[in-house]
Amino acid sequence: MSTFNVKIKWNKETYDLELDTNESPSVFKAQIFALTGVSTDRQKVMFKGSVIKEDEWNSTMLKSIKNGATFLMMGSAGELPTEPQEKAVFVEDMTEKELADAFDQPSGLINLGNTCYLNATIQSLSTVPELRESLKKYKGSLTLNESFDGAHDIVVSLRDVYNKMDTSSTVMPVLLLEMLHMMGTTNSKNFITQYFGGTLQSTMKCIEDESEEPAISNENFLQLSCFISQDVKYLQTGLRLRLEEEINKFSTKLNRDAHYMKTSKISRLPAYLSINLIRFFYKEKNSVNAKILKDVKFSLTLDLYELCTPELQKRLVPMRQKFKDYEDQQLEKIQQQKLTKNVDDKLNVEKKKEYYNYSFEDDPGSNNTGLYQLYAVLTHKGRSSSSGHYVGWIKHKDKWFKCDDEQVYQVSEEEILKLSGGGDWHCAYVLLYGPQLVEKCENLPSTIGQ
């Protein structure tokens, strides 16, 4: 017989326990722990004056064990764990706001029926903090029972969507969609022009008559276009080619249509630059809007200095120099750490970062460096503009997220760069770049312009 009903006596308490001598004494002690709360390393278990071992039973002791035998245990239980001051909160019990905060991710937008492009656009624009702050300050309500006011009601609806995105993990932008359906044309000025609008200085030169004076004009834009041809492999190339184009127009001097070369340079850079990759074209043979799937590489940063007028380039130099000085200082710190092989604790202290204003003082909403960083990518998946699916990929608190309607996932920078095209996967259609912030650093040369 190897199984016995025994008793464990501890202090003033007695416990009944089933002992199987085929198991090691450590199993027996674990059973005692379950009854008394005394951990096995604190137990001293004795039977008839002998202390039981940890790994095996004493043969003499085994002969004496019978049903009803009493074991004596000495030892004290450890302190019971204290109840946590904050109760555990389970995912199932969290509100939508608590879920969004816990996972530190942007809100999703519910698809209301072919509204993926709208959702992706809302997500992309959400990366512009100045826009969201400006909308929060906008007072007013929808004119639902009055005459429709397009500009006002669109702004109010978008403001309300972003306010809900601050408090919910998923949002249904139904009122904004309704206002867009009702809207005809809107004169979008002020904030949009100030922060998203740039200016091109164009020179029109007649190729067929060198004596004709070139015509210089200015035109405003809310986005730059990147035309995709067989030779275009990089975004910068597509932008540059778009700013140089040959056109036919009537020449008053020649009294006929003639070839002209139109060359454009950027004379005003907006803080937030939208770039449209022209991927759709009409294919007459099949009477469909086909899609160019070609891979066009873009980067997480963008420098438009070379595409600017000489006058603007001159104005960009001071702040570009500050940015270079900051990068040089950071590189010098890293080199010093490598030489000393010790990381100075002072360098590891997280300090509140301070940045220079990214706009010229006399032109709020402009870009004073020509340097940008990628804020959002709007992609299209499919073969035609009349079908497929749009998704927004946005940078939120230094992390990238894929916002596929109400589904939001964190992704890597490598996954963002793979959106350049080349197949049936998501292709970048609109890129939104924001200002490259220039961090202030110490000991900058005093000769640098302010």
**Cα 7 to chain centroid, rounded:** 63
Which one of 116, 226, 308, 427 is the catalytic residue?
Answer: 116
Kindly state the DSSP code that residue 372 receives in the 8-state scheme: E
**Euclidean distance between CA atoms 172 and 187, whole angstroms:** 26
Q: What is the DSSP string of 172-206?
A: --HHHHHHHHH-------THHHHHH-EEEEEEEEE
Q: What distance in Å separates the CA atoms of residue 222 and residue 104, rounded to the nearest whole number?
A: 32
Distance CA 315, CA 318 (A): 7
- Residue 27, φ and ψ in degrees, nearest 5: -70, -40
Active-site pick, 152, 259, 389, 441 = 389
How many other C-beta atoms are found inside a 10 Å radius of the C-beta of residue 10? Answer: 21
Structure tokens at 178: 């309704």
Closest CA to 275 of 243, 306, 320: 243
CA distances to 66, 325, 359, 439 from 296, rounded to whole Å, are: 84, 32, 29, 31
Known catalytic membership, residue 116: yes
Half-sphere exposure at residue 264, Cβ-oriented, CA atoms within 13 angstroms: 21
Residues identified as active-site: 116, 389
